[in-house]
Amino acid sequence: MKDHHKVHRDKLEQAIEEFTLSCAGYCVATYVLGIGDRHNDNIMIRETGQLFHIDFGHFLGNFKRKLGINRERVPFILTYDFVHVIQQGRTNNSEKFERFREYCERAYKILCRNGTLFVNLFAMMKAAGLPELTSFKDIQYLKDSLALGKSEEEALKNFKVKFNEALRESWKTKINWMMHSLAKDNRP
């Protein structure tokens, strides 16, 4: 019996680690690429714990508006529910959360170091006819999110501000998700 519970506990710990790593990648990627439409119907989680996004129709800061209101109000999605999982359900598990923060920062620095490559690749894709990649403004979004032209220290400082904003303003995400669910439930 003890071995049976140990196996399940090990799988749970593996799933939480997978969630933590994929959530870090999700946060950084959606911020850098300016992915929009980040509501609860577009965020999936596998049984293994891997978090992933399924709708890439709005990116490079081309965010949807509803009744003239910007639906994307945080730099990326980092709800307290996500933090709860990362911290393994313990509010005082700051070690796990700080490790998650470090994963995010490390991923962001890697992307910034390769920022020129990303900008060049996206610039070459302008001819592909993607509706959200047609102008200099779209490429500029990527340059700004990667903090091109700034030192690594300045870029990381800016990212830390965005990280704290996403966490502090996560209540806005909850309201957006609630409104999305209500609208979805009231469709004919």
Q: pTM here?
A: 0.81
97-129: pLDDT as tens digits: 999 999 999 999 999 999 999 999 999 998 898
Give 63's contacts (C-beta < 8 A, 6+ positions apart). 34, 36, 37, 70, 71, 72
CATH topology of domain 2-172: 1.10.1070
Cα–Cα distance for residue pair 128/120, rounded to 1 Å? 14
Tokens of 115: 């920022």
For the chain, residues with pLDDT lower than 70 are 1-7, 37-41, 55-57, 63-73, 170-188
